[in-house]
Structure 1
């Protein structure tokens, strides 16, 4: 049996107290803490869209402030992920989880107490940064505590949590707004994280596995973090601006992004060849399962967020639904995704990448049907649309959880947080590109067809379907090139290959 990093403390600056991570009898209780934290963070992201109109009126926000209340959070989130993953790998994921959770709760208080647009914007950026600090620790802990079939199940439940939080977020937000009232209800939308977060914090101190961390830590690669940060911001900023009516996108920043990315790769290679501690070990990117899965995830998440934005527009502006009614009308996608994610996590070890191919095919078909129904503009489409969205959601569940499992299947546990950070950064960049592209097509079609919301939404969903089609092609190509490669019960065989130079 291949020796894992958990069995050989010299391979990593940390090791768990338990013998093998999968043998820890409290691992599922600790996993529930991770799910609670993930639910809290994702709930925040899905509730803000419902509260935003009330926030705008209450604080008299400018259009730019409204946009950056959302965009600033996304940018800060994406900017912190990779560095946060490295900090967790080097200094202990439990420790970074607790720090990030406390900071997230503090930012929640500041968001809810905002008295003006500037206050809110700064608080939202801080909230995004703390969410970005927390997220890689969750995935890294799952990678650390589970292996083989159990890891697939765990990622399945995690993906289901993503779907559930996406579904209930608008419902909870809309319910709070109706119960408390729009003038102050938005503050409680931010405060709803507090009881969840405090309970999670108490349980985390008791249940998350303790780690023995080496006294001497490798210095954080600040140059690599800065270069990667420049590249991420330079990609996300212009595509975010593309969604603003009054701002001309700074497309020249894409050249800065390319230069920053090239500089980052050159710097990381230099550190690795010199036996030093890079932010991202480039051998990670050469792992076939990781690279193929990351590209599939990038394409998939470039399309998925646009579904909710466009469907909300269709039901609210086209059908005259309230925000709460519109949220209920789109729940079928999230429910289907949550159910399929649990199943997909359990059977990914049997089908490997073929499960991802099948899920991508079903999602593409379901969303194509959704685009056709929405674009028709005929009455009585709510139930058929819910059915089409359910089909698309079922397919998505068979992609998200299995793809996460396959991505991490050959990643050694010492690199779990960093790998999760890089992967999630790709998802965030994909989301930041896909939504503005879909909205640009929506607005241009709306203008060309004299305000016909149905036609404009149909065109936007058709473009989103095409992006899902690209994800399908990527997943199919990876199967044909690399095989199905289902996960095994053995620890990752590449722990030594990716161990830090100082450890070797």
Structure 2
């Protein structure tokens, strides 16, 4: 190939990479949107298929459960067998499961198909972060992760609005079905584009690594035992459910021991424990876990308060969450450019913004406890959204930036598993505080304030970790 030919091909290669990133981001938006879009559709499901409270709980939380359980093994599968191929299988299964959810004639079938949909979503997510690692380097990788972080933040926040719009447009007892049908054209388009644009995983040199099935079983059962009492906190009364937590600890310790043994014997582990010797990865994963415990639980109690206590429609409750989504989207794109210059300081600034915004929301509820609370809380939520945009994508960039590409899928799976566990734990804790205040005193505004204050506590814990890291770096430097 001549020099002129090589130069003329470079723009096409560059454009193809960014188009491939668009495919990954669209798939990520679709799967993450489904974690929150169903919340406003639950009353319609209850009327449409006679779903019980237990059924509705599994529709809402079962998706997050199976999604989280699939992340690490799916990430490792993509590292070994090809991220493009695993991505395509995940998109196909997600689209089919979405169609099955929309066609479900009984609540039991809806729950089954919803669990399958979560598994498919968990297959897609780590491939996206792995493909970003594979396709981009340096400042371009930071920019790509900024866009990925924007999708993570915005998809969660905009879910109630999207669900409200779909139900408002379709109406009736079957309005909830369109929450799932909307995935069909998106899924088909993503699959077709992925076939053309996504790169294949480069072939490995040397002997082929095997798949660590005992590691999958130990990690999966440990994560299941840990997450079940969290996602079912409101539906399983009594304290016996918490007996699963020590079981989870035993299983996860066994998983850690097994993985160390795999490493000593020179075999391929499910999770390379050397990842946790990287300070940037360990710190970033902990910050992400604590932050997601705070930020996702905000919308859980806020939309409940607006709909159940103030009589807001599904659409109005979704609109009330829009300032956070808008601020997050705008700031996440800027964060991708700024993280190269400021590093961990930018995450600290972002967490300070989220904390300030949540504190402002608590004060807004005090000043305007009636139906005007959404207007009073709009500016604080916008500030919190800007802070979120400066937290999620820069933290993702810093956490995964130094991970070897051959471990990128598994590392992304570990990071996102922490996010799912954090979300479940946060919703359980914030929900318990909110419902306990309602049951004990019946004061709905005070219940929301306490719920938001609990979410703020998680954000402050993440901020304390980030600040401690900054102080140690300053002492060393």
TM over 0.5: yes
Aligned to 1:30: 20
For residue 425 of structure 2, the aligned residue among 409, 433, 454 is: 433
For residue 182 of structure 1, the aligned residue among 160, 163, 172 is: 172
User: Contact 1:317–1:453 at 8 Å: present in 2 too?
Assistant: no
CA distance in 2, matches of 1:252, 1:36: 40
Shift of 1:269: 0.5
Q: Deviations over 1:164-215 (max 9, x none)?
A: 3334432332222222223222112101001011111111111111234359
For residue 275 of structure 1, the aligned residue among 232, 257, 266 is: 266
CA distance in 1, matches of 2:461, 2:125: 27
For residue 215 of structure 2, the aligned residue among 210, 224, 228 is: 224
Q: Deviations over 1:204-243 (max 9, x none)?
A: 1111112343597422101011111111111111122212
User: Contact 1:94–1:211 at 8 Å: present in 2 too?
Assistant: yes
Aligned to 1:409: 401
CA distance in 1, matches of 2:240, 2:27: 35
Question: 2:385 matched to 1:393?
Answer: yes
User: Contact 1:280–1:418 at 8 Å: present in 2 too?
Assistant: yes
Aligned to 2:113: 123
Aligned to 2:6: none
Aligned to 1:88: 78
Task: Map 1:326-475 onto structure 2 (within 5 A).
Answer: 326-376=317-367, 378-379=369-370, 380-449=372-441, 451-475=442-466
Q: Deviations over 1:125-151 (max 9, x none)?
A: 100001001100011111111111111
CA distance in 2, matches of 1:473, 1:211: 38
Cα RMSD, aligned residues only: 2.0
CA distance in 1, matches of 2:167, 2:237: 29
Moved more, 285-294 or 162-171: 162-171
CA distance in 2, matches of 1:234, 1:245: 14
For residue 312 of structure 1, the aligned residue among 289, 298, 303 is: 303
Which segments of 5 or more consecutive residues in structure 2 lack a partner in the other structure? 1-8
Question: 2:283 matched to 1:289?
Answer: no
For residue 224 of structure 2, the aligned residue among 227, 233, 243 is: 233
Shift of 1:54: 0.9
User: 1:223 and 1:252, CA in 2 relative to 1: closer, same or farther beyond 3 A?
Assistant: same
Q: Secondary structure at the match of 1:213?
A: coil
Question: 2:152 matched to 1:132?
Answer: no
Question: 2:253 matched to 1:257?
Answer: no
> What is the TM-score with the length of structure 1 in the denominator?
0.89
CA distance in 2, matches of 1:214, 1:285: 24
CA distance in 2, matches of 1:75, 1:217: 31
Q: Secondary structure at the match of 1:184?
A: coil
CA distance in 2, matches of 1:376, 1:204: 50
Shift of 1:387: 0.3
User: Contact 1:242–1:248 at 8 Å: present in 2 too?
Assistant: no
Q: Secondary structure at the match of 2:210?
A: coil
> What is the TM-score with the length of structure 2 in the denominator?
0.93
User: Contact 1:224–1:268 at 8 Å: present in 2 too?
Assistant: yes
Q: Secondary structure at the match of 1:250?
A: helix
CA distance in 1, matches of 2:299, 2:358: 12
More helix by share: 2
Shift of 1:44: 2.1
Moved more, 377-386 or 184-193: 377-386
CA distance in 1, matches of 2:220, 2:385: 33
Shift of 1:448: 2.2
Q: Deviations over 1:1-39 (max 9, x none)?
A: xxxxxxxxxxxxxxxxxx99x974521111111111111
CA distance in 1, matches of 2:475, 2:104: 51
CA distance in 1, matches of 2:473, 2:215: 31
CA distance in 1, matches of 2:366, 2:43: 26
User: Contact 1:38–1:135 at 8 Å: present in 2 too?
Assistant: yes
Q: Secondary structure at the match of 1:26?
A: helix
User: Contact 1:162–1:338 at 8 Å: present in 2 too?
Assistant: no
CA distance in 2, matches of 1:184, 1:286: 51
For residue 61 of structure 1, the aligned residue among 44, 51, 54 is: 51
User: Contact 2:48–2:173 at 8 Å: present in 1 too?
Assistant: yes
For residue 203 of structure 1, the aligned residue among 188, 193, 196 is: 193
Q: Deviations over 1:287-338 (max 9, x none)?
A: 1000000000010001111111111123223432211111101110111111
